[in-house]
Amino acid sequence: MRTIRLFLLLILCGNINAQTVLTLDSAINIALKNNYDILVARNDADIACINNTPGNAGMLPTVNVNGLGEYSINNIYQKSSSGTTNKYPSQSSTMIGANAELSWTLFDGGKMFVTKNRLNQIQALGELQFRTKVLETIHSVIAAYYDVIREKQQLASINEAISYNKERVTISETGFNAGTMVKTDLLQAKIDLNVQMQNAISQQYIILQAQKALNNLLGQDPSVTFEISDSIPFTYKPNRESLLQRLNSSNADILSLKKQIDVARLVLKENQKAYSPTLNLRGGFYLSQTTNSEGASLKNRSYGPQIGGTLSIPIYNGGETKRKVSVARKEVQSAEYELESVKLQLNIELQNIFTDFENQQKLLQIEKENNQLAKENIEISIQRLRLGQTTSLEVHQAQESYAQSSARLINFKYNLKMSETRIKQLVGSLE
C-alpha cells in the first residue's frame, strides 16, 4: 500500500509540475503571432512592399494585344467631279483588326526615378509604422499581464485578511462564551469576516476580467485559462542622460515622422517634375481588313510594323502644377513642424516618466517598511485581543491599516513596472 500511495503521489506531483505557466515572454510571442492589430499592421507594411515596383513608378513599358471587329450597313451616295454618280442603298461593311502594341515613357524629367525613391521610402515607413504597432501591443500585453498579477496579489492580500478575521472571530467566540467579551465584539468580527469574503468573491471576478483582457490582446478565446507567476520583478536601472540621447534616434514615432518628411519632400519633387517635357515611344505590329459588299473598293487589307513617338511639352494647365507644388511645400513644412512638436512632447514625457519612475521607487521602499510595521501591528493586536488586553475596535483598525498598506504596496509595484515599461517603449527597447 505504501508503494502504491507513493506512486500515486509522484504521478500527482508530476501532473502539477507539468502544468504550463504563461510567462511574459510567451505572452508577447503569442501576441506577435495572433494580435489582430499587429496582423493588420503587417498587411499594411506588406502592401507598401508590394507597391514598391519599377512598374508602379512608371519606369517600365506596357505591352497590349488588342482586337477589333465591326459590322455596319450604310446608305452611300457618291458624286464625283466628272459628274458620275454612284448609289449603294444598302452596302454592308465588315472590319476586323488586331495589333500588338508597346508604349513606353522614355523621359519625363526624371519623375519616374523620384517616384521609385518615394515608393522605397513608403516601404520603409510601413516597416517603421509596423514596429510602432508592435511596441504598442507589447506595452499593452505587459500592462495586462502584470495587471493580472496585481489582481492576484490583491486576492492574496484579501485571503490573508480573511485568515486574520477568522482568527479574530475564534478569539471573540471563545471570549464571549467565557464571559470576558461582549457580544458586539463577536458580531463585529463576523461582519468584518463576511465583508472580506465578499471582497474575495468580487476580486475573483476582477481577476477573470483581467485574464479576458489579456486573452483579447493575445488573440485568444476569452475562455482560455492559464496560470501566471504571482510576482513582479524589478531589475531595471535606467540612466536619464543616456535615455534622452537615445530618444531622437530610436523612438519609433520620431523615426516614422522623419520618414514621412522624406516622403513629403519626394512628393514635392514629383510635382516639380511636371514642368518637364515627356517623351513617349509607341510601336507594334498592326493588322486591319475592311470588306464591303459593293462599291469601288470591295476589300482593303493593311498590316505591318509601326513605330512612333510623342513629345509633350507643358505650356499651360490652368496653374495646376503650380498649385500642387505650393501645396506639397506646405505639407513638407507641416511634417517638419509635427516632428519638432512630437520631439518636444516625447522629451517632456520621458523626463516626466523618469521622474515618476524614481518617485515610485521611493514610494515602494517606504510602503514596504510601512507594510511590515502594519503587519507587526496587527499580529500584536490579535495577540493582545487573545490575552484580553485590547478591544475588538483596535484590532479592526489594525486590520484596516494593514489592508490599505497592502493595497498601496501592490499598486506601487504595478505603477513602477508600468513606468519602466513606458520608458522602454519610448526609447524603442521593448522588443
For 328-346, the pLDDT digits (tens) are 999 999 999 999 999 999 9
Residue 47 pLDDT: 96
Q: What is the separation of C-alpha 182 from the centre of its chain, rounded to a whole number of angstroms?
A: 61
Residue 392 pLDDT: 82
* Average pLDDT of the chain to the nearest whole number: 90
Alpha-carbon span 58 to 47, nearest angstrom: 18
pLDDT exceeds cutoff 50 at 18: no
Residue 431 pLDDT: 63
Alpha-carbon span 156 to 403, nearest angstrom: 11
**C-alpha cell, 342:** 512630437
**C-alpha cell, 102:** 508597346
Residue 11 pLDDT: 42
pLDDT exceeds cutoff 80 at 83: no
pLDDT band at 156 (very low <50, low <70, confident <90, very high): very high
Amino acid at 306: Q
To the nearest 10°, report the CA torsion of 182, 183, 189, 191: -150
Residue 79 pLDDT: 74
Q: What is the mean pLDDT of residues 59-76?
A: 88
59 Cβ contact list (under 8 Å, min separation 6): 112, 113, 116
| Length of the chain counted residue by residue | 431
Residue 48 pLDDT: 95
Alpha-carbon span 215 to 209, nearest angstrom: 10
Alpha-carbon span 35 to 39, nearest angstrom: 6
Residue 8 pLDDT: 39
Neighbour tally for 31: CB within 10 Å? 24
194 Cβ contact list (under 8 Å, min separation 6): none
Alpha-carbon span 168 to 385, nearest angstrom: 8
pLDDT band at 298 (very low <50, low <70, confident <90, very high): confident
Q: What is the mean pLDDT of residues 385-408?
A: 91
Residue 296 pLDDT: 67
> Residue 227: beta bridge partners?
21
Residue 7 pLDDT: 39
CB 35 within 8 A of CB 137: yes
Q: What is the pLDDT of residues 91-102, one digit of tens each?
A: 788 989 999 999
Between 208 and 86, residue with greater pLDDT: 208
Alpha-carbon span 145 to 210, nearest angstrom: 8
Lowest mean pLDDT among 16-25, 312-321, 368-377, 398-407: 16-25
pLDDT exceeds cutoff 90 at 72: no
Dmax (CA) of the chain: 146
pLDDT band at 1 (very low <50, low <70, confident <90, very high): very low
CB 325 within 8 A of CB 268: yes
Residue among 361, 340, 366, 354 at smallest CA distance from 422: 354
